[in-house]
Chains A and B, each alone.
Chain A
Amino acid sequence: MSRPELQAPPEIYYGDIEAKKYTGNTRNQQIQADMTYRALELLNLPENEPAFLLDIGCGSGLSGEILDEEGYIWAGMDIAPSMLEVALEREVEGDLFLQDIGQGFGFRPGSFDGAISISVLQWLLNAETSHPTSSPPHRLHRFFTTLHSALRNPSRAVFQFYPSSDDQIQLITSIAQKAGFGGGIVVDYPNSKKARKVFLCLFVGGGGGQQQMPKGLEGEVEEDSKVRFERRRERERLKTKVGKRKNVKDKDWILRKKELYRKRGKEGVPRDSKFTGRKRKAVF
Chain B
Amino acid sequence: MVRLITHNLLACHVKGCTSNNFPLEFKDAKLELREAEYNPEFIRGFLPKIEWKALVDTARQLGDTSLPLEQPEMLDDEFLKNLHHVLLEIHVEEGSMICPNCKHDYPISNGIPNMLLAEHEIG
Residue in A93, A98, A111 whose CB lies within 8 Å of B116: A98
- Residues of B within 8 Å of A73, CB to CB, are 5, 39, 42, 88
Residue of A at shortest CB range from B40?
A50
- Residues of A within 8 Å of B116, CB to CB, are 79, 98-100, 103
Expressed in whole angstroms, the Cα–Cα distance for A122 and B69 within the complex equals: 46
Expressed in whole angstroms, the Cα–Cα distance for A107 and B115 within the complex equals: 12
Query: Is A110 in contact with chain B by the CB < 8 A criterion?
Result: yes
Interface residues on chain A, size class: 35 or more
Q: Is there an interface contact between A95 and B1, defined as CB atoms closer than 8 Å?
A: yes
Q: Is there an interface contact between A142 and B123, defined as CB atoms closer than 8 Å?
A: yes
- Residues of A within 8 Å of B123, CB to CB, are 103-104, 142
Expressed in whole angstroms, the Cα–Cα distance for A132 and B116 within the complex equals: 17
Q: Is there an interface contact between B39 and A106, defined as CB atoms closer than 8 Å?
A: no
Interface string of B1-40 (1 = CB under 8 A from A): 1110110011111000000011000000000000010010
Expressed in whole angstroms, the Cα–Cα distance for A73 and B89 within the complex equals: 13
Expressed in whole angstroms, the Cα–Cα distance for A129 and B42 within the complex equals: 43
Q: Is there an interface contact between B13 and A146, defined as CB atoms closer than 8 Å?
A: yes
Query: Is B113 in contact with chain A by the CB < 8 A criterion?
Result: yes
Q: Is there an interface contact between B2 and A95, defined as CB atoms closer than 8 Å?
A: yes
Q: Is there an interface contact between B113 and A98, defined as CB atoms closer than 8 Å?
A: yes
Residue of B at shortest CB range from A84?
B112
Expressed in whole angstroms, the Cα–Cα distance for A277 and B8 within the complex equals: 81
Expressed in whole angstroms, the Cα–Cα distance for A88 and B5 within the complex equals: 19
Query: Is A244 in contact with chain B by the CB < 8 A criterion?
Result: no
- Residues of A within 8 Å of B42, CB to CB, are 50, 52, 73
Residue of A at shortest CB range from B2?
A95
Q: Is there an interface contact between A97 and B113, defined as CB atoms closer than 8 Å?
A: yes
Q: Is there an interface contact between B45 and A49, defined as CB atoms closer than 8 Å?
A: yes
Interface residues on chain B, size class: 20 to 34
Q: Is there an interface contact between B3 and A97, defined as CB atoms closer than 8 Å?
A: no
Given A105-B115, A106-B12, A111-B9, A50:B39 Cβ within 8 A: yes
Query: Is A133 in contact with chain B by the CB < 8 A criterion?
Result: yes
Q: Is there an interface contact between A107 and B10, defined as CB atoms closer than 8 Å?
A: yes
Query: Is A176 in contact with chain B by the CB < 8 A criterion?
Result: no
- Residues of A within 8 Å of B61, CB to CB, are none
Interfacial residues of chain A within 49-79, with CB under 8 A of chain B in the complex = 49-50, 52, 71, 73, 75, 77, 79
Given A49-B41, A52-B46, A107:B11 Cβ within 8 A: yes
Expressed in whole angstroms, the Cα–Cα distance for A79 and B113 within the complex equals: 11
Q: Distance (Å) between the CB of A271 and the closest chain B CB?
A: 64
With A48-B41, A98-B114, A99-B115 given, name 15 new contacts (CB 8 A).
Answer: A73-B5, A79-B116, A84-B112, A88-B1, A93-B36, A95-B6, A98-B116, A100-B115, A100-B116, A103-B123, A108-B22, A108-B51, A131-B119, A142-B123, A150-B9
Q: A residues within 8 Å of B by Cβ?
A: 48-50, 52, 71, 73, 75, 77, 79, 81, 84-85, 88, 93-100, 103-108, 110-111, 129, 131, 133-134, 142, 146, 150
Q: B residues within 8 Å of A by Cβ?
A: 1-3, 5-6, 9-13, 21-22, 36, 39, 41-42, 45-46, 49, 51, 88, 110-117, 119, 122-123
Name 25 interchain pairs, CB-CB below 8 A, sorted by A: A49-B41, A52-B46, A52-B49, A73-B42, A81-B112, A88-B110, A88-B112, A96-B1, A96-B111, A97-B113, A98-B116, A99-B116, A100-B115, A104-B122, A106-B11, A106-B21, A106-B115, A107-B11, A108-B9, A110-B49, A129-B119, A131-B119, A133-B119, A142-B122, A146-B13
